[in-house]
Structure 1
Amino acid sequence: MPYQKVKPQRRLEVLHDTKVARELEILERELKLRLQHRPSTLSFEETYRSAYRVAILFREKKKLYELVVTLIDEYMNARFPTLPMRDRLLQAPIEEMGAARDVESDVTELLEALENLWKDLSIQLSVVRDLCMALESCYYDDNNLPSVYDAGCTTFRRLFQQHLFPIGVNSTTVQNVIMVFIRNEFHRDRIYDLVDHERLRSSIQFLKTISENVAKNKVSKNTAEEDTPFAAVEARLLHDCQRFYQEEAEAWLHHGRLDSYCHQAVRRLQDEWERCKALLGEPSAGKMVKLVGDEVIRRRLDDLKQLEARDDVLTWLQDEESRLLSYSTIRDASKDDIRY
């Protein structure tokens, strides 16, 4: 076979690919060690230089980005199934409001494990982000990609919402378990039952935390906000609120007393505002109060008129709702305030 001389250009390409492969192999080993909290063989500066050579000198930012995102996905997929999802949580009827009442200790254990996992992931993502600073923001924007940190957060949210924990013929997600717990606690608070507000507040704050920094690339620009865990829980709470106050308004009307109905409506508006403002924040509290106003005031105008309510009474009820929505302090309703 005659000898074929390798062209210089081809020789340079082979040399380039060899160097890139060697650097990526080093980076893969070092990043795995750092994600697993194991001693690394290279210093931070040496690892940073290796990433810099791949991204800047060799102009292989795409390969570096794909490697980092893949390693983060593998790390999270290995860690998430280790969460303490007890059998009682998996066997609980997820769609029933009282499902979480008998498993509060298990929910507390799960929340603590989730918070620890999220803190660990945040630290590791910060380290990886600093190591890969050569992937400057313009690369993400030009290629319509989330940053390394945002990609890791997206992976965590995806597993939180979609990873199934099977047991027998049943299966559920972590989001479903936390959602049932929050819905159940809100329901118990509305009926003036004992509620662990500290645990409830911490669970909602956790959902807010993992819902932040949603990647705003062109693909998810219109749907990212609606897909967050906090948005999903808020939607279910709004649905529960509507159903609860529909039944409440029917019960108040059944007694046939206008003064009692007005007192109850104003008190419920104030309670819902204070509860949701403290736990969910003012934007969500405004949605809840508006929903309560729809159910107990606007949709009941004809029923209230049958109880001989005058226009000034109806206006007063609507003013009380508007006062809350404008972040003003609602005045205490007394029997003398109601004119009929």
Structure 2
Amino acid sequence: MTESIDGEPISGVQHVIAAGPYRAVVTEAGAGLRELERDGLPLVLSFDADEPIQVSFGQLLIPWPNRIDRGRYAYDGRIHQLDLSEPKNECAIHGLVRSSPWTLVEREPHRVRLAHRLMGRAGYPFRLDLEADYALDAERGLTVRLSARNVGTRTAPYGHGAHPYLTVGEPIDDCAVTVTADRWLPVDERLIPSGPAVDVSGTPYDLRNGRKLGGQVIDNAFTGLRRDAAGRAWVRLTGGGRTTALWADAAHPWLEVVTADAAPGDRRRRGLGAEPMTCPPNAFATGIDVIHLRPGAHHTGSWGIMAE
């Protein structure tokens, strides 16, 4: 006789919030964005609550986004070695909290706030208290506020990002993509920057005015961000009579754009990764835009997604 046991999905507690036509699901595991929809139509590529996450769907990237070359960096006179969490490229990728449990702090019908205590470890011997606040508004859609406080005894290198894949329910080859950025960052075959950011003018990476993507493959960071009157930079995906838009505030001078070529099954190239980042790939090694979070100091940044 087999005993029946009621359990939870591998992504833990599912926090469902709603406001007007918007609905979102945030997971206990990693405080990730599992679903976001408006009027029942998806705005991001989603995954099942009991499905192992692939290609970082909806994950938060803390205390660094993107890759660190061979997981090695120098900081404050010490050499640090991180585990190579992306063995095929010999990199440490997307931080340390993507599958960690986050604790519920506050819950309202339209909002959820989660927290995580990041303890020091080999490769990152620093101590941070983290919060992720997801809020829905019937007009403005989703706003996400990420915060970090250094509660340790030494200054910590810090960066954050997020990894939603925007969708309009159509293959991205048939969609127009807009990225309000003047420069893009070339990378080598291991997706490590091969030089400084360069002007997008006259290149396939000039997406400032919006154009059909076709079969172009992109996995690059963009900077030199043009911002609206509210200080927001934008990525827009338009197709099938719909537009899904992501904005990022001034705390995020970088946007990674990724065509979902590695997404599993029928989700391949059905979404566009639009990742707000406080620093570029390999920042811990190069020092570019790394935040030096002193003991007691606090950092915050916001981004959001809406249907236009």
What TM-score range do you get, normalising by the shorter chain? under 0.3
Higher relative contact order (CA 8 A, sep 6+): 2
Bigger radius of gyration = 1
Structure with a larger share of its residues in helix = 1
TM-score, length basis structure 2: 0.22
